[in-house]
Amino acid sequence: MYCGLNRYMGLYEGASYASMLGVQSKLRIAGLIWNKISQPRHIFIVWLAVQGRLLTKDRLQRMNIPVDTITCSLCDAQAVETQYHLFSVCDWTKRLVTTMAQWTGVQIPSGDVKQVLNRIRRRHWKQLYKEIIAALWGSIVYYVWQARNWKLYRGTVQGHYCDYRYNNYTDQTKFLC
Ligand SMILES: [Zn+2]
């Protein structure tokens, strides 16, 4: 079941929560990745992305795993699907980030997955607010990766949405994708 999920999500097969726990403390941004707000599945994808371990098409090709086409599945730019392209320059992702920014009133810093978290870390914000923004970024990363997998393996990204929840009790925002 776990391996099946890994295959479906295009995850690095050798990754595990245990191995993630073993090295998380070495990263300055670990506190933002492993925040109190994000869902575990979002944290897992962000953690793999920070380490460059998501099985993007360029990585599959480097591992000599055949891919039909090397280009990004989400946009029409005919750009090579790298992790940097998917999360930083892809028009599809940019539109999602813009929509989320308009929706929440929060401007997500630009950059790749790790750079964004480092930029959030360096902002003069309260820790809880940093964690909320990091959780928002984590939900975007997760949703982009999920949409990419749906487009690649099912031919559509329809049927998926981000369910916005606002928790009055803890005054925190959650995005359940
Ligand atoms: Zn793209």
Query: How far is the centre of ligand 1, averaged over its atoms, from the C-alpha of 18 (Å)?
Result: 32
Ion ligand 1: residues, Cβ under 5 Å: 72, 74-75, 90
What's the predicted TM-score (pTM) here? 0.76
Task: Give the residues across from 80 on adjacent strands.
Answer: 71
pLDDT of 173 higher than 80: no
pLDDT of 162 higher than 50: no
Beta strands per DSSP E along the chain: 163-167, 172-176
Query: How far is the centre of ligand 1, averaged over its atoms, from the C-alpha of 42 (Å)?
Result: 20
> How far is C-alpha 25 from the geometric centre of its chain's CA atoms?
20
Q: pLDDT tens across 22-72, in order?
A: 455 457 899 999 998 999 999 999 999 999 999 999 999 999 999 989 999
Q: 118-125: long-range contacts at Cβ-Cβ below 8 A with a sequence spacing of 24 or more?
A: 118/28, 118/29, 120/32, 121/28, 121/29, 121/32
Q: pLDDT tens across 29-38, in order?
A: 999 999 989 9
Query: How far is the centre of ligand 1, averaged over its atoms, from the C-alpha of 8 (Å)?
Result: 20
Which SS3 state, helix, strand or coil, does residue 125 take?
A: coil
Buried/exposed code over 159-169 (b: 16+ C-beta within 10 A; e: otherwise): eeebeeeeeee
